[in-house]
Amino acid sequence: MRALVAGAVGEPNGVLRLESRPVPTPEAGQALIRVKATPIHASDLHVVRGRYGFSPEFPDVGGHMECVGRIEALGPGTEGLKIGERVVVAAVPAVPGPQMAGTWQEYLVAATHRLLPVPHHLSDSSACQLAVNPLTALLLVARELDVRPGEWLVQTAAGSTVGRLVIQLAGHLGIRTINVVRRRSAVDEIKALGGDEVICTEDEDLLRRVTEIAGPAGVRKAIDCVAGPVGAQVSQALAPGGEVAVYGALSTHRQTDPAALTIPLSARSVIYETKVVRGFWLNRWFGTASPADVLDALSEVRTLVTDGVLSIPPGRPFPLERFTEAISFAETPAHGAKPLFVFDDDRDEDEE
């Protein structure tokens, strides 16, 4: 079978290569999955560059987050799932916990408690992106920050996949969003999606605009995936006692200068206004949640997606052989669609 393997830590297009590997055999409690589609997330490229929160042993099959595929075989005595069934694989490695198989390959073995059957009408493109970004949006908004109906929520990189899902979820829950983007050309799209307010850092002052929008009561909750000076400004823009959950560091992408990998907080604002700046990482959530909690949360996300509350933007398919092009596309500013590696499937009647 074909697998896209990183031989060592390095620039993805320098260290990734296509290899032929044997199809693995599932053990008890595991299933063999024939992969249909799997995304290229920014975090996947961080792993290859050796700059993520965990580091696998190299050589390593890339893609550590999620995929959709069909169950090809079950391990001995493994029950509850059917051969041929289409499932989402939440391949996110738990931290602390065992490493899981990479998804950028034709077949992989996964524990059955990380598999979620998907309904016929959900496309492969949506299903293969269900377990990471929609789950992150749900956990951040509804559990980590417990944002209540009527409250304001500030979020950065509002045009990201997570950002768009947060806007939809907030609309469903009656939460009002202040959406920060870096390009003026993204503003209309965010408004059309239902974003209540949009701040464009290209030509607007974030602090002043948050104050204008939210008035004297201010905003107490924020999520940030940009970090750097933008993340610091978000914390400063919050009302006293406010809390920001930092879940990404897009401004640090491709940076090697250690000073660039910081969030330069205002000590006065943090101390005298008793702000909280804390992290969220799905891998650590998977490391602490029980298998039942994980399946409950994934099922909740599946319901939100199948009921049309959350719509996952369609990905852009690439065959595995065109990985160089797919990775360059993933790193192009304003590229829009999420790049997906797709594999041929002769039995695609399940998907619309």
Q: Would you tell me which residues interact with ligand NAP (CB under 6 A)? A: 41-43, 132-133, 136, 157, 159-162, 182-183, 186, 225-226, 247-248, 250-251, 280-282, 333-334, 338
Nearer to ligand NAP, 109 or 326 (CB): 326
Nearer to ligand NAP, 71 or 162 (CB): 162
Burial annotation 83-120 (CB, 10 A radius, 16+ → b, else e): eeebbbbbbbbbbeeeebbbbbbbbbbbbbebbbebee
CA dist 3 and 265 (Å) reads 42
Nearer to ligand NAP, 31 or 65 (CB): 65
Nearer to ligand NAP, 101 or 282 (CB): 282
Burial annotation 48-58 (CB, 10 A radius, 16+ → b, else e): bbebbebebee
Nearer to ligand NAP, 41 or 86 (CB): 41
Query: Please, what is the minimum distance in Å from the beta carbon of residue 335 to ligand NAP?
Result: 7
H/E stretch holding 200: strand 197-200
CA dist 199 and 152 (Å) reads 14
Token pair for 270: 């943090």
Query: Please, what is the minimum distance in Å from the beta carbon of residue 82 to ligand NAP?
Result: 30
50: left (phi over 0), alpha (psi -120 to 50) or beta: left
H/E stretch holding 246: strand 243-246
Nearer to ligand NAP, 26 or 248 (CB): 248
CA dist 259 and 62 (Å) reads 28
- The CA-based diameter of the chain, rounded to the nearest angstrom, is 63
Position of tokens 């239902």?
A: 194
Instruction: Find the residue with minimal CB distance to ligand NAP.
Output: 248
Query: Please, what is the minimum distance in Å from the beta carbon of residue 171 to ligand NAP?
Result: 17
Nearer to ligand NAP, 70 or 338 (CB): 338
